[in-house]
Chains A and B, each alone.
Chain A
Amino acid sequence: MTAAEIVNKLDLQVFSGENGLNRKVSGGYVSDLLSDVMGNADEGQVWITLQTHKNVMAIASLKELAAVILVNGNKPDEDTARQSNEEEIPLLGTSMSAFEITGKLYELIKK
């Protein structure tokens, strides 16, 4: 499954990083603690969070994540969107809560 398919199936908003929508997705990781994501997320995962600042993309890039989904209708900071374009890692959004979007993503990837 690619990031683009997830965008379509879960009806996500694409803020930036369109060039990375063909990235392969291996699974998901839910966390709002940046140090935790640094320590525990794996390559190819989609990171679900409500954190919007620039460090999010720095970590997504270091960990080679497939995409970032901002929940609860959160919008990225300007720097964050810019860095997502530079790193070609899609920055996505939903008005759903972390629990709900995770439930749907888990179901989708499991299939």
Chain B
Amino acid sequence: MQVKDIIRILDARILCGGERLDYTIELAFASDLMSDVLTLSNDNVLLITGLANMQTIRTAEMSDINCIIFARNKKASAEMIELARESDIILMECRYSLYKTCGLLYAEGVKPIF
């Protein structure tokens, strides 16, 4: 699935990385706990989270995660967008719950990590 499909399915808003709409995502992981995300060994995973703070972006940077969706209508601050841009992370916001976000993406064929 490409970033542009995610935007369409979730009616999401892209905050940075808009020049990479054809970037392909195969795996997703949903969590609000960054300590949980930091235990993943996979790279190139889509992170779906309702935790929107600087540590979300930092965690993605350290874990080589290059695509994040903030669900639950969480908003990224200018500082967060800037850090994501510096780290080449594609950042999106959507107003759906984590439940609906996962449900819709899973139905469209995005795979879990394990």
Contacts and interface: CB of A to CB of B under 8 A. Distances in A.
Q: Which 7 A-B pairs have the closest CB atoms?
A: A103-B106, A106-B103, A100-B112, A32-B32, A102-B102, A30-B98, A99-B30
Nearest to A48: B99
A97 interface: yes
A29 interface: yes
A29 B30 contact: no
Contacts, number: 79
Contacts of A72: 36
B33 A98 contact: no
B97 A97 contact: no
A40 interface: yes
A105 B105 CA distance: 13
Q: Interface size for chain B: under 10, 10 to 19, 20 to 34, or 35 or more residues?
A: 20 to 34
A49 to B, nearest CB: 9
Given A100-B112, A102-B103, 11 more contacts: A28-B103, A29-B99, A30-B102, A31-B98, A32-B31, A96-B112, A98-B31, A99-B29, A102-B102, A104-B106, A106-B99
Nearest to A34: B32
Interface string B3-41: 000000000000000000000000011111100100000
Nearest to B36: A50
Interface of A: 27-33, 36, 40, 48, 50, 72, 96-100, 102-107, 110
25 contacts: A29-B97, A30-B30, A30-B97, A30-B99, A31-B98, A32-B31, A32-B36, A33-B32, A36-B50, A36-B72, A40-B72, A72-B36, A97-B112, A99-B48, A99-B105, A99-B106, A99-B110, A99-B113, A100-B112, A102-B30, A103-B106, A106-B100, A106-B104, A107-B103, A107-B106
B103 A36 contact: no
A40 to B, nearest CB: 7
A15 to B, nearest CB: 20
B62 interface: no
Interface centre among B29, B48, B105, B112 (most CB of A within 10 A): B112
